[in-house]
A and B are shown apart, each in its own frame.
Chain A
Amino acid sequence: MSDNGILLDIKGLCVSFFTEDGVARAVQDVSFSVKKGETFALVGESGCGKSVTALSVMRLVADPPGKIVAGEINFDDRNLLELSDQRIRAVRGNRIAMIFQEPMTSLNPVYTVGEQIVEVVRLHQKKEEAEAWDIAAEMLRKVGIPDPVQRVNEYPHQMSGGMRQRVMIAMAISCKPELLIADEPTTALDVTIQAQILDLLDQLQEQSRMSILLITHNLGIVAERAENVAVMYASRIVELSDCKSLFDNPLHPYTQGLLQSLPRLGFTGKRLYTIPGIVPEPLRFPAGCKFHPRCPIGCNDKRCQTVEPQLRRLDNGRGACQSDRQVACWFAPGYERPDDPKI
């Protein structure tokens, strides 16, 4: 393993979609790193680029129209973007696995769940068929499916949504991946089932020390499950922090607004805080800071309207940088540097 225990290191990732109506810059200059054994959450609203970032790690961005324009994705000190198609296939599903949002459609309806797991196991681990079936049953047991030996022979439509998501997880962990990318793993599930699935992920992580890149729009899940978190808005990371500090003291106005606008259990007040306006579309991003039209602080500020702030560490005034927190807002305390443009 590399130094600092960093497993996945993304630097300056840019992904664009070249459509007839123009170039949609879905991911712009995204950098973050996932340590070994941690859960890193990528949180944001629909269309903010979080799923595209995840797909880029798997090199699954549809090309055309999508294209990874710039950046590096270093996984265990190898740049995944430079690997040949054949080499990336050996990584996919083996060292990096992914589970998707929709448990109804991400399993193939014409094969039994056992056949689908066995295929993955045999492909990546060169196991004998009989042994692979044992592994399949063992994986199903591990993800908490009762009677796994019988259930390997069931078809996906014979199972409920929660069970199918468990099968997806079983398939994903069957090759003992080092990194599990979970793209909205519980969005399609009921809350009580969601809690079960998240518990299962926690427990699997504890057993195998795999890293999880958790992609979600649900801040509650992030608060409960992640160690580090990146908040994305309009294709950029606007705030990157450890989980506790983010929820105790959010720095970016977008994060602040999101946290305040959530209805919380037990809150029966008159009104909720709201972020005005709508989420901008990738083809019609505003100039300057992309959040400024909706921002309570920056909406009338000349600099916010014209110059886009970059994600950077905060200066605590004594020359040293504060912990690991990063933010992209001109008004965050300690953000400004002497050589910044003044408007």
Chain B
Amino acid sequence: MNTDTNTNGFLLKVDDLKTYFPVKKGLLRRTVGYVKAVDGVSLAVKPATSFGLVGESGCGKTTVARSILRLIPVTSGKVIFDNTDILAADASHLRSIRSGITLIFQDPFGSLNPRMTVGNIVGEPLKVHKKITGPDLTEQVRLILSKVGLPADAMNRYPHEFSGGQRQRIGIARALVLQPKFVICDEPVSALDVSIQSQILNLLKDLQQEFSLTYLFIAHDLAVVQFSCDTVAVMYMGRIVEQASAGELYNNTLHPYTVALMAAIPKINASQQASTHRLKGEIPSILNPPPGCPFNPRCPFAGDRCFAQNPPLLPVSGRPEHLLACWHI
């Protein structure tokens, strides 16, 4: 779709990212173990494309997003953005990097400071990073607010006076006001009403075209991710288990987890009738994952090898763009 052929290849490269949270116990808060929230995730995003991360709650998709921005301490790995290593940057460098990668949040109610006017929320990054003040600032804020479809008088109002969809537009305006290259959308529509979701999804697509933005799009809804993204990666328990272009993933689903995920989505069309393919059991505790492939307790095809070894993420033969982590296929 977007055929911007940057010869350098990728805008963002994440290499073997690991984010472990220590589990502390007792009076002296000794570390007794680790929650491997993200356990060796690698991904690469081309400029002006959308990369989707999809998975159920607790699979680590949000942790990936926050690790990329170093909002939480990362255990190991590399995050290369625009030829700089984010994880190695010092504090002041990090601040300038953060003006190039911005974040759109899930919760339109919690992500805006209730004590600040919309004008201040959207304008503050400009003031800090670009040193714009006075009428220039007002003008730029007004411009970006109109781009996301908000009235100009929104500037002098407070977040609580807006509906969920409008608040999400404010969040988008804040994320785009610095003209970043890369935007991480963390479940941008999952808290919104059905009739508002499509407005926001379209808006994100329009803005991507206008400013040739690159998205890392995180969601639990496979249909939303497929609509919005060029490449989709499915995560399960801190790892990517399957990754392919949106069309390929739908037409040629390989990993049993992806198959089950698709089957579980309630369908509207009579042609896509409810599948009887159901996953048994629940996501195992991430504190002590099962040995071997973490999906093995729920997998209908699990064999001996699945219980012994965790499968690596490798290209499917004949389709170099389709990556899969499963012994079975």
A residues near B (Cβ < 8 Å) are 45-46, 160, 162-163, 190-196, 198-199, 217-221, 223-225, 244, 247-248, 257-259, 261-276, 278-279, 281, 294
Among A194, A196, A220, the residue within 8 A (CB) of B268 is A220
Give chain B residues whose Cβ lies under 8 Å from the Cβ of A247. Answer: 268-270
Name the residue in A192, A219, A259, A268 with the highest tally of chain B Cβ atoms < 10 Å from its Cβ. Answer: A192
CB atoms of B202 and A278 under 8 A apart: no
Least distance between B48 CB and chain A CB atoms (Å): 15
Of all chain B residues, which has the CB nearest A218?
Answer: B266
Question: Is the pair A264, B202 in contact by a Cβ cutoff of 8 Å?
Answer: no
Please judge, given known A-B contacts A190-B56, A258-B195, A264-B223, whether A272 and B201 are in contact too, CB under 8 Å: yes
Question: Is A267's CB under 8 angstroms from B196's CB?
Answer: no
Q: Contact check, B264 vs A194: say whether CB atoms are below 8 A apart.
A: yes
Interface residue? B75 (CB, 8 A): no
Chain B residues near A221: list those with CB within 8 A: 266
Contact A267 B227 (CB under 8 A): yes
- A272 vs B57: C-alpha distance when bound (angstroms): 26
**Chain B residues whose C-beta falls within 8 Å of the C-beta of A248 in the assembled complex:** 270
Q: Kindly list 14 other residue pairs between chains A and B, CB separation below 8 angstroms, not including A217-B193, A223-B267.
A: A191-B220, A193-B282, A195-B278, A196-B279, A223-B266, A224-B266, A264-B223, A265-B223, A267-B226, A271-B202, A272-B198, A272-B227, A278-B166, A279-B163
Beta-carbon nearest neighbor of A257 in chain B: B195
Residue contact A265 to B265, C-beta cutoff 8 Å = yes
Q: In this complex, what residue of A is CB-closest to B278?
A: A195
**B311 → chain A, closest Cβ, in Å?**
20
CA distance A265 to B278 in the complex (A): 17
B267 touching A224, Cβ below 8 Å:
yes
Q: Is residue B233 contacting chain A, with contact meaning CB distance below 8 A?
A: no
Are B194 and A196 closer than 8 Å at their CB atoms? no
Across the interface, which residues of A come within 8 angstroms of B163, CB to CB? 278-279, 281
Name the contact of B198 in the complex, choosing from A160, A190, A265, A273 (C-beta under 8 A): A273
Binds A, one of B7-15, B78-86, B116-124, B255-263: B255-263
Indicate the member of B166, B193, B250 with the most A CB atoms within 10 Å: B193
In angstroms, how far is the closest chain B Cβ from the Cβ of A217?
6
Partner of A190, one of B196, B202, B220: B220
Instruction: Verify if B246 is at the interface (C-beta below 8 Å from A).
Output: yes
Q: Contact between A279 and B262 (Cβ–Cβ < 8 Å)?
A: no
B205 at interface (Cβ–Cβ under 8 A)?
A: yes
Is the CB–CB distance between A160 and B194 below 8 Å? no
Contact residues in A for B199 (Cβ distance below 8 Å): 274-276
| Cα(A333)–Cα(B282), bound, Å | 48
Residues of B within 8 A of A263 (CB): 197-198, 201, 221, 223-224, 226-228
Which 4 A/B pairs are nearest by Cβ-Cβ distance? Answer: A220-B266, A261-B198, A190-B56, A195-B264
Q: Out of B195, B223, B250, B263, which one reaches A45, CB within 8 Å?
A: B195
* Nearest B residue (CB) for A46: B193
The answer, yes or no, to whether B325 is at the interface (CB within 8 Å) is no
Interface residues of B (CB under 8 A from A): 56-57, 163-166, 193-199, 201-202, 205, 220-224, 226-228, 246-247, 250-251, 260-270, 272, 274, 278-279, 282-283
A268 touches B246 (CB 8 A): yes
B194 in contact with A258 (CB, 8 Å): yes
**Interchain CB contact under 8 A, B247 and A268:** yes
Contact A278 B223 (CB under 8 A): no
Kindly report which residue of chain A lies nearest to residue B164, judged by CB atoms. A46
A162 interface neighbour in B220, B222, B247, B282, Cβ under 8 Å: B282
* Choice from B202, B226, B228 contacting A265 with Cβ under 8 Å: B226
By the criterion CB–CB under 8 Å, are B278 and A261 in contact? no
Cα distance A231–B228 when bound, in Å?
28
Q: How far is the CA of A247 from the CA of B47 in the complex (A)?
A: 39
Q: Select from chain B the residue with minimum beta-carbon distance to A189.
A: B57
* Contact flag A271-B194 (CB < 8 Å), given A262-B268, A278-B166: no
Q: B167 to chain A: closest CB distance in Å? A: 11
Whether the Cβ atoms of B193 and A274 lie closer than 8 Å is: no
**Cβ-defined contact, B266 with A268, below 8 A:** no
Least CB distance, B114 to chain A, in whole angstroms: 19
Q: How far is the CA of A267 from the CA of B195 in the complex (A)?
A: 17
Name the residue on A nearest B224 (C-beta).
A263
A206 to chain B minimum Cβ distance, whole angstroms, is 15
A-B pairs with beta carbons under 8 Å apart, 11 shown: A162-B282, A192-B261, A194-B266, A195-B278, A261-B194, A263-B221, A270-B205, A273-B198, A275-B195, A278-B163, A294-B195
Alpha-carbon gap, A163 to B283, bound state (A): 12
Alpha-carbon gap, A219 to B223, bound state (A): 14
Cβ contacts under 8 Å, A192 to chain B: 56, 260-261, 264, 278-279
CA distance A30 to B247 in the complex (A): 43
User: In the bound complex, what is the Cα–Cα distance between A265 and B263 (angstroms)?
Assistant: 10
A265 touching B267, Cβ below 8 Å: yes
Contacts of B269 in A (CB 8 A): 247, 264
* B268 close to A199 (CB less than 8 A): no
Question: Could you say which of A191, A198, A225, A258 has the most chain B C-beta atoms within 10 Å of its C-beta?
Answer: A191
Contact with B227, one of A223, A224, A268 (Cβ below 8 angstroms): A268
Nearest neighbor of A221 in chain B, beta-carbon distance? B266
* Chain A residues whose CB sits within 8 angstroms of the CB of B267 once the complex forms: 220, 223-224, 264-265
List residues of chain A with CB within 8 A of the CB of B205: 270-271
Q: How far is the CA of A258 from the CA of B195 in the complex (A)?
A: 6
Pair B193/A268 contact, Cβ less than 8 Å:
no
Complex CA–CA separation, A193 to B58 (angstroms): 13
